[in-house]
Amino acid sequence: MSEAGETSGATLQAVDIARIMQMIPHRYPMLLVDRVVDLIGGESATGIKNVTINEPFFQGHFPSYPVMPGVLIVEAMAQCAGITVIQGLGEAAEGRLVYFMSIEDCRFRKPVQPGDQMRIHVQKVRHRANVWKFSGTAKVDGTLVAEATVTAMILDR
């Protein structure tokens, strides 16, 4: 992390995988964010997912033409949003569960395949109580591959 600190709304240069695992409860094979860059706690972030042939879903989706399932791309957006929220709320919120409430305006533009590096950008749309809404986009090599608006509820365990 950068010298910017960890206060609410602080801009951080990067959050590595070890820190991500402190912030959200997801683990392999469902942890779909490898790194977060340009994080502004509670507001926005860009996450990175390095897509490799070792991903378990490629065994069946599809063996002769491996494509990352769209629902997992949206899940990666939601995880980036969750990391953004937790950073904004501070260390006391780490490990809290995040439940999907809705997925809106979801579009898949291009397949994501092994070898791609997916950059997921999320931006807060609205926040009320423990409900957060984010718009998200996923790009590979600057080309839009998916977009969606996700709403989630942050819960205590």
Closest CA to 2 of 14, 19, 17: 14
Dihedral class, residue 113 (left if φ above 0, else alpha if ψ from -120 to 50, else beta): beta
CB 115 within 8 A of CB 55: no
CA distance 124 to 42: 7
Count Cβ neighbours within 10 Å for each residue of 75-101 and write b for 16 or more, e otherwise: bbbbbbbbbbbbbbbeeeeeebebeee
DSSP 3-state of 44:
strand
What letter would DSSP give residue 110? S
Give alpha helix (H) positions in the chain.
17-23, 70-89
61 included as an active-site residue: yes
List active site positions.
61
